[in-house]
Structure 1
Amino acid sequence: MEGEAYTATETAYKAFGRGDYKASAASAAEAVALRPDLLRLHLLLIDSLVAAGDLAQAEQATKAASAAFAGNQELEGRQANIRQRLAQQPAGEGYKALERGDAKAAVRAARSAVEYAPDSMSYRLLLLSAQLADGNFNDAVATATGAIKLDPGNYVPLVWRAYLYQKLGNRAQAVSDFNAALATPNLTDIEKKNIRLIAADAALASGDFRTVQELLANYSKTDPAVVTRLGDADAAAEKKATLKGDGKLMLPPVQTCRDTPYGSVCSLEAPLVQSIATPVPPVDKAAESFEAAGKAYQASRARNYSLAIEEARKAVEASPETVANHLLLVNLMISAGRPADAEVAASRAIAQGHGTAEIYAQRGYARNLQHNRRGAMADWETALQRGLPPDQARNVRLSLVDAALAAKDPQRALRTLQRLPITYDTAIRRAYALQALDRKEESIAEFRTAERLGPTAILRDEALRAQINTLLELKRKPEARAIFDQAIARGRLSTMRDADLAYLAVAVGNDEIALNRFDRAHDRGQLPPRATIDAGYTAMRQFQNPKAIAYLMEGVDAKADGRINIDDQKLFETRRTISDLSRVWGINSSITYGKVGSAPNPFLVVNNPASTYTSQLGTELYYRPPEFGNRNGALFDVFVRLFETLYDQAGGPTGLRTTQGMVGARWKPFSDHNLVLEVDKLIALGDAARNDTLLRAAYSYTVGTDLRAIDTHWPTWYVYAEVDKFLEKSQLVGIAEGRFGHSFRLDPISRNLVFFPHAVLAASYDDSFANHEAYSAGAGGSLRYWFGETKYLAPPSYWELTLQYRFRIAGDKRAEGIFAQTSINY
């Protein structure tokens, strides 16, 4: 620092040192204006303002500094401290407003405190208390929810939200929050007791005496906090009293807060309560049971399952020896989606000696709904042994088969099916059981039977689809394709969703139908986001590149929006495919240094000096016709090339005299094999170049040569071979090379920079040399930097630098020495 900035800074520090904080702040502000790039000046200004008591200006200074130095921990710490201190004033005003009964002023002040210190639980609870006092329960629920997210391990906001839901009439959500509060880890015994007492108050307000008994069962009935609540619940259970209420009449818990070295900590206590039970006169039990059962049936017809279950319980309590009442209660609980309660009710009936076949069957259904398949199967087998009516026995057997299949016990499923006649229901299940036993040939016959007997088109299509998939599992794809094509021709499989049918078509190899159904699902807005990528690859196989690119770009957008879950490598591969499909032209350029034949040139070394060091520049511009240049990875390019020798150790011609022109075309006929066929016309642009015709064939196999998105290092190797035949000046050239090593992504520098140390084996043949052959081995390294990526395109271009040293193994001396190359693929 120098000049005015230095002077202002020195003045600020001296003023701070003698305690004149306002003067320090003024000088520090001047220094920051002159040198806003220095973090320590911003910190000096903030500290001076805080010391001067000007917290509002300190916060503004902190915001300004944070904009310039985002993510700085020192700034974040100061900002949190300042905002915490700013929050204290409105918080104090909020507490005072509550004391004088001004709820709306308390809400305004508490909101201000929360805005300043959103991480403070005590301020959020202050706001919640103010909203309760103001009678604004919906806003209080939102505040409690925010407090729960702030500290999921704190039971207090959970209990408050449960209380609020109870007051709003949402009993189910209140119970859920009370249960969550009781499941909070590290609760003290006192905290657990208070939560149970508060939850008991809510249950009593709803007339739910059983929940009260369960909550308070482990506490002494002489406990003053328990006796009234449990007494009301026991009286209601014994029909000596009733609990009337709409569920909203309950006293709020009592909140107390205390200051600790870690901040203010709040807890809840259950309020003092009085009995709310109303005594009732005794009634005739048989009449009560009959009346309650009738009300239960009536409520169930109206789908009012809560009332129906309540009345069915009354019927069971009034006449526990009547099995029909137990069965009614269990059935209603299953219909209401409460299988756990249904299992408990059925087990209680069985324990009381009412274990009929029907009770066991219903308990089996309840257990199955809870995924307790083993327990369900045991109950169903017991029910079948005790005897069920024929129709009910058939349904139980089919349910038993389904549970056995889900439990991966297909042998049990087959045994159960032996007692049933052949129908669609039995044939389709037998097919799946045989398939699970790896008896796939037999399962195909059963799938065909199920297809023949299926009562609806949906079921027939399901069986047909299963046949096709089983044939695919048996590696009988041609047969599966034939059945699929025949089905489509007959209008079958029409009940399948378009996207599902498209995937089946892909599996059998009918990309035409697959793309058609992908398109139809897309047009109707029914294509799942994940399917857009698969649709893109299907379009690519159908040589519809613009459509493929559009689908794949939708997939990239779906990943960015969080609508599909694919890893970064899959996303990278999708973007790489878009890059390849959208490529219409490109430039390849390289400069090599080495001996002739020491390595494959990307284009071809066309001059043939002695076995001494040379350097050559090669540049290619190619065009790939968008209509047919890329057919699912089968490529066709036309190109022009220029070569020039830059250096010749032997003293041969260099520069413009060696300029070699070339025009030609290359064809990669296979999608899955990197074989390239090429024809070139050589045009001498310099007097040391040549006119000729060249036929060329090249093949390569690569592993790990592309950039990777997740891995930071990976095995890499490739082999390359080419044969070149000059027709007019007869010459035969052959080159082969293998590089074997490991790639390392240099993330500290750039995620797009890859270092590839490797071993190399090379061989060359050139019949224009006295010694036609040369063989070498060596080691080297490559640096490759990828660039040009966008949201949709993986980096399509790269620059590479390679340096190797090779030792001659056999043949001509041109095999040994240094090989260096720098190239760009754009």
Structure 2
Amino acid sequence: MFKIYIFLFVLVLATTPLPVCARADAAPHAAQSAPSGNGGLGDQLRQFKGYPHLDMAYRKMRAGENSAAAEEFRQYLAIIPQDAKARADFMNLLYRMGEYDAALALLQGQPDTQKIFALQQTRGMVLVKLGDNDQALAAFATALDAAGTDAERIAALRALVLVGKQDGDEEVVARYLTQARALAPDDEDLLREQALFYEHKGNYKEAVRLSARLEKLHPGPENAAVLANSLFLASRYAEAAAVYAKIAAKEPQMLYRAGQSFAAAHQEQQAIDMFTAFLRTGVSPLRKAETLLALGNIYATQGDAPQAYAAFHEAVPLAAALPQKAQAQLAAGLAFAAMGSGKPAEAVAPLQTALRLAVYPGEKVSIFMQLAQAHAALGDTAKAAKAWRQAAACPGAAREDVALAEESLGYALTDMGDHVGAERAFGRALEAAGPRRRIVLAAAHAAYAAGLYEKALEHFAQAAAMHPTTDTSLALGRTYEKLGKPGLALVNYRQAAQGIAAMSQEEQRKFYLSLGFLQMGQADYAAAAEAFGQALTLGYDPATAARLGHAELLAGQTEAARQTFAAMPDKGLPVSVQVQRLADLASIAIANGQYEEAEALVAASLRLKKDAALFSRQGDLLRRLQRTPEAIAAYREALRMDNTAAGQAALGYALSDAGQYAAAADAFEQALAADPDAAHLWEDLGYASMHEVRNAQSVAAFKKAIDAAVAQGAETGAEQVEIDKKIFRLRREVTKLQTNLSATAYLSYLPDGAGPSRWAGGDTARTIRSGGGAEVAWTPPVLGLRDDRLLQVIGRVSANLNEDDSFSFDEDSWQGAVGLRYKPFKSQNFNVGAERLFHLGDKAEDTWLLRAMYSWTDGYDLSPGVPYWNYTFFFGEYDYYTSENARSVVYGEVRQGMTFNVYDRFLVTPHVVADSRITEPDRDQTSLVEFGAGLSLRFFLPAFNYEVPRSSVEVLLQYKRGTLFHVQGDDKNSLIDSLFLTTSITF
């Protein structure tokens, strides 16, 4: 688009301020002031004495002898100082002489000067000359108040307007202009001044009204120009042009303004006539260049490129007279006209000149674009591409221009065979312009040609979404086929089916193939099978048959799939088709539970093609068939071909099945390194490390598994319960692995009715009777805990309570013990031990104790979040004492009850209990059997981070009835009927 530069000259009439005061009379006057007070004769004598000086002052003024006149005024005012008119005239004279300070000094000490218009008006003009506009404004306001006639008021108001304009105080100007025009509404100068004021304020409507009245009351070229300017600024170009044309009859320079106005009014022919007439008036080189530039722009607007070129070309020799911006416009206009005239070779040089002269980056954008078009028209695509790049990279370029430049660059790069670069250029065009189907399709075709099928798919799908057509749907199908996977444009592809009748048989076959791929991607396998079947009817090929069988298999049509595969020829099939067929047949075998057959089919596939996915599938089947070594080999081969996180995980599970925990741990670690999001593998790594007695690594892995489980979101409450159970189980593993030292202290008390209590100290089986003790167990590192097999060093002290004072210990019964305890089995809580007993009290023993213990529980530990559960407890123990008092003790206890959970911190377990002890030989009559009921209250202390509570306090209250087997004497001594209270603290 060519731009018309309009040069508007606004005529502002500046009024030169002159002092508004009394003019010198033709003859001196008599002083009008009141008598001085010395009587009438004295006044007459002073007037007689001063008159010659006053008369001479006026004579000298008329003769132009201002200095002499000033001296006469001084002498006169020294004689008659009260003569206000003479003083005003003297001030006027000093003002004209430029003696402003002296003029102001004439007012000092003079009374009533505020009431004399002439003095204040002259004072104001003097202050203006001194640059004190604030004081001047006050003086003129005082003069306005002192004015006695409208003429004086208008003079004061003009002065106030003048000062307001100098100060830029539009409010002052508007106020006093309005007051002045109220006194003289048709005054030419005031009317012009107010019209120009509103024009400056941007109130063009009021400016037009005032300037129209001005031109009507005071016709003339000057006032007509004010009206034309106002009309132009008010966008009333036709009216402005008519006024300019009328003025031009007497003022030929107005032809140029008339041409500009006609051009702005889109009356191009009138504008051309005005500019042409103006050129015949013998204008200056600058004005001629401007006119030719304007003419060229009008011709370009009309689409008359030859005439535009002629006008621009004529202006070129005069371009030096133009401003730089206009020179750039001229060069660009010449180039545009050359292109429009079919002369692209003649456009290059002017465009390069325009680029050199252009000031603003935005101007360069269109010039670069035109330069690119010129190079393209000349067949130089590389230079055209360069220019398009420069246009797009211009700072400040509008988004639309950037979009056009990048799009054009994409087409140029396509012509050059740079499809990757073209796709990127079209992408940048879309970023600038937003989604436009034309550009989206261009980007899609460029990406497809470059082999960037994913991007092509994205662009084709976007184009189809904007406006689906058969072409875009088919393009989507072809792209999906290249990718070997479906897309998201199935709905658009189905719309293309409406035009399938117009396609050739081969095009229809390709259409159904692409439709099948799309429906496979949408998991609509039945529809995909139908589409592949249609394709087969239009032309059989094994690949399509294999796709049909695969779709039928996924659609659950197993028998149809088997028949499709059976109908395929055994020989002559491409390897890829054979592999797909065997893999699908293997899937059918798996669905029928025929794992041996499925593995044989996968093995056959591998003989045709070594593929990581096939090896991994073979490993899964072999693992299911418990052929673990072969499964491990298959997984390793899959990893050799494609080392993936899933492959390493599968290998880890197979190695775990084979008991190769160290290798399994390494595989899990590699899987996690490749895929940190596979958080479920941390648990497997923890157990593999634990089995391999890498306890520190196991703890670290379990903690990672706990973090992952805590971060895992649950969609339902049931899922959250399972997550909480998993977290608790993992924390229990961490607790077990990190516990190196444990301690237990207990105190048992029974009041009476439990048989004789005269027992020797040290019998650990008596811990259910009145007594107490403490045990410390230390698990040595490395050797202590080995894959749930536990070796501990223990130390223990115990004692009975006094018979007389039930809450104090019998000092003679204190028994000490140190020894080893070993749990040899992973899954069974069976312990054996050897302890050295040594006496601390006089009644204690010094002997060896050999022990075997076994327990089984259900519901003994905490179940987080579960309100209650079953409680079953069984404990059995065999002790053998190897001293002179050698004996064997067998003890067993069973409990059955229900545990109630209080906030995962407090367990309440009511239960029934039965226990028995058999001692042989039973020298102390301790063999017994008991039955009863009890209540366990167990409180868990806070746990360490990542652990379950290690420490707890349990209070066990039981009531039992029973009998002692070997008691001598009264039968009632053999009866047991008592409460049992046991308190234990575990750490």
Fold match by TM threshold 0.5: yes
Deviation digits for residues 54-108 of structure 1 (CA, Å, limit 9, x no counterpart) = xxxxxxxxxxxxxxxxxxxxxxxxxxxxxxxxxxxxxxxxxxxxxxxxxxxxxxx
Q: Does 1:710 align with 2:865?
A: yes
Structure 2 CA distance for partners of 1:818 and 1:453, relative to 1, 3 Å: farther
Q: Does 1:817 align with 2:967?
A: no
2: distance between equivalents of 1:594 and 1:768?
A: 25
Do structure 1's residue 419 and structure 2's residue 564 form an aligned pair?
Answer: no
Residues 708-766 of structure 1 show CA distances to partners (whole Å, capped at 9, x for unaligned) of 2221222221211111111212211111111112211112xxx3111111122222212
**Mapping for residues 526-537 of structure 1, pairs under 5 Å:** 526=676, 528-537=678-687
Give how far 1:409 is off. 4.6
Partner of 2:928: 774
Moved more, 302-311 or 729-738: 302-311
Q: Decide which of 695, 700, 717 is 1:545's aligned counterpart.
A: 695
Measure the CA separation in 2 of the matches of 1:484 and 1:586. 41
CA distance in structure 2 between the partners assigned to 1:570 and 1:753 by the alignment: 21
- Give the TM-score, by structure 2 length: 0.47
> Equivalences for 1:253-402 in 2 at 5 Å?
300-301=448-449, 304=456, 327-328=474-475, 330-331=477-478, 337-349=487-499, 356-384=508-536, 386-390=537-541, 394-402=542-550
Look up the match of 1:764. 917
1:349-748 to 2 correspondences below 5 Å: 349=499, 356-384=508-536, 386-390=537-541, 394-420=542-568, 421=570, 423-456=578-611, 458-471=612-625, 476=626, 479-481=627-629, 483-484=631-632, 495-497=643-645, 498-521=648-671, 526=676, 528-562=678-712, 567-594=723-750, 606-607=762-763, 614-648=769-803, 654-728=809-883, 729-747=885-903
Residue in 2 that maps onto 1:799 = 953
**8 Å contact 2:623–2:631 — kept in the other structure?**
no
Query: Residue deviations 1:213-247, cap 9 Å, x none?
Result: xxxxxxxxxxxxxxxxxxxxxxxxxxxxxxxx956
Query: Residues 720 and 351 from structure 1, CA distance in 2 versus in 1: closer, same or farther, beyond 3 angstroms?
Result: farther
CA deviations over 1:534-569 (Å, ceiling 9, x no partner): 211110010110111111122233344559997122
* Equivalent position of 2:81 in the other structure: none
Q: Which has the larger radius of gyration?
A: 2
Mapped contact 1:664–1:680 kept (Cα < 8 A): yes
Distance across 1 between alignment mates of 2:917 and 2:752: 9
- Alpha carbons of structure 1 residues 784 and 585: separation in structure 2 relative to 1, 3 Å: same
Q: How much has 1:694 moved relative to structure 2?
A: 1.1
The alignment status of 1:786 with 2:934, answered yes or no, reads: no
1:267-312 Cα deviation digits (max 9, x unpaired)? xxxxxxxxxxxxxxxxxxxxxxxxx999986674355557757989
Give the direction of change, closer, same or farther, for the CA distance of 1:484–1:802 in structure 2 (3 Å limit): same
Residue 382 (structure 2) aligns with: none
Q: In structure 2, the residue corresponding to 1:648 is in which secondary structure?
A: coil
Inter-CA distance 488–347: structure 2 relative to 1 (3 Å threshold) = closer
State percent identity of aligned pairs. 23
Instruction: Give the superposition deviation at 1:773.
Output: 4.9
Deviations 1:160-205 (A, max 9, x none): xxxxxxxxxxxxxxxxxxxxxxxxxxxxxxxxxxxxxxxxxxxxxx
Q: Is the 8 A contact 1:347 1:363 kept in 2?
A: no
TM-superposed CA distance for 1:395, in Å, is 3.1
Contact 2:746 2:773 in 1 (8 A): yes
Structure 1 residue matching 2:783: 3-state secondary structure: coil
Distance of aligned partners of 1:699 and 1:373 in 2 relative to their CA distance in 1, 3 Å threshold: same
Larger proportion of strand: 1
Q: CA deviation at 1:652?
A: 14
Q: Is the 8 A contact 1:591 1:823 kept in 2?
A: yes
SS in 1 for 2:802: strand
- Tell me, yes or no, if the aligned pair for 1:667 and 1:677 is still in contact at 8 Å: yes
Structure 2 CA distance for partners of 1:808 and 1:461, relative to 1, 3 Å: same
The alignment yields a C-alpha RMSD, in angstroms, of: 4.3
Secondary structure of 1:801's counterpart equals: strand
SS where residue 723 of structure 1 aligns? strand
Task: Look up the SS of the partner of 2:801 in the other structure.
Answer: strand
TM-aligned CA deviation for residue 681 of structure 1: 1.0
In the superposition, relative to structure 1, how do residues 377 and 509 fare at CA in structure 2: closer, same or farther (>3 Å)?
farther
Please say if residues 719 and 738 of structure 1, whose CA atoms lie closer than 8 Å, have aligned partners that are also in contact: yes
How far did residue 669 of structure 1 move?
A: 0.3
CA distance in 2, matches of 1:428, 1:657: 82
Distance 1:305 1:578, change over 3 A: closer
Cα deviation 1:778-797 (Å, max 9, x = unaligned)? 22111111124122111111
Task: Tell me whether 805-814 or 338-347 shows the greater mean CA deviation.
Answer: 805-814
2: CA distance between counterparts of 1:314 and 1:824?
Answer: 75
Asked if the contact 1:614–1:647 (Cα under 8 Å) also holds between the matched residues in 2, the reply is no
Specify the SS of the correspondent of 1:554: helix
Deviation string for 1:367-406 (max 9, x for gaps)? 221122222223333433x14342xxx3333333443444
**Residue 608 and residue 624 in structure 1: after superposition, are their counterparts in 2 closer, same or farther (change >3 A)?**
closer
Describe how 1:23-172 pairs up with structure 2 within 5 A: none
1:637 deviation in Å?
0.3
Instruction: Name the SS of the counterpart of 2:945 in structure 1.
Output: coil
Say which SS state the counterpart of residue 635 (structure 1) adopts: strand
Question: TM-score w.r.t. structure 1 length?
Answer: 0.55
- Per the TM alignment, residue 438 of structure 1 is displaced from its structure 2 partner at its CA by 0.7
> Given residue 740 of structure 1, which amino acid in structure 2 is its aligned partner?
Q
Give the match for residue 78 of structure 2.
Answer: none
Q: Using a 3 Å threshold, how does the CA distance of structure 1 residues 589 and 418 change in structure 2: closer, same or farther?
A: same
- Counterpart of 1:671 in 2: which secondary structure? coil
Deviations 1:315-371 (A, max 9, x none): 997xx8xxx997456545887932332453255346999994444333322222112
Runs (5+) with no aligned partner, structure 2: 1-431, 572-577, 715-719, 967-973
- Note if contact 1:642-1:659 (Cα within 8 Å) is conserved in structure 2: yes
| Secondary structure in structure 2 of the residue aligned to 1:647 | coil
Could you give the per-residue CA deviations for residues 9-55 of structure 1, whole angstroms, max 9, x where no partner exists? xxxxxxxxxxxxxxxxxxxxxxxxxxxxxxxxxxxxxxxxxxxxxxx
Distance change >3 Å, CA 370–CA 312, structure 1 → 2: closer
Cα distance, 1:623 vs structure 2? 0.9
**SS of 2:567 mapped into structure 1:** coil
> Cα gap change, 1:440/1:681 in structure 2, threshold over 3 Å: closer, same or farther?
same
From the two aligned structures, give the one with the greater helix fraction. 2
One-letter code of the match for 1:736? Answer: G
| Cα distance, 1:430 vs structure 2 | 1.7
Aligned to 1:91: none
Cα displacement (A) at 1:664:
0.8
Cα contact 1:777–1:809 (8 A) shared by 2: no
- Provide the rounded CA distance (Å) in 2 between the counterparts of 1:372 and 1:425: 20
Paired residues of 1:333 and 1:342 also in contact (CA < 8 A): no
Tell me: CA distance 1:690–1:405, structure 2 relative to 1, closer, same or farther (3 Å): farther
Amino acid in the other structure paired with 2:622:
I
Deviations 1:124-160 (A, max 9, x none): xxxxxxxxxxxxxxxxxxxxxxxxxxxxxxxxxxxxx
Q: What is the distance in 2 between the residues matched to 1:781 and 1:301?
A: 82
Task: Give the distance between the partners of 1:758 and 1:618, measured in 2 at CA.
Answer: 25
2:634 and 2:754 map into 1 onto residues whose CA distance is 58
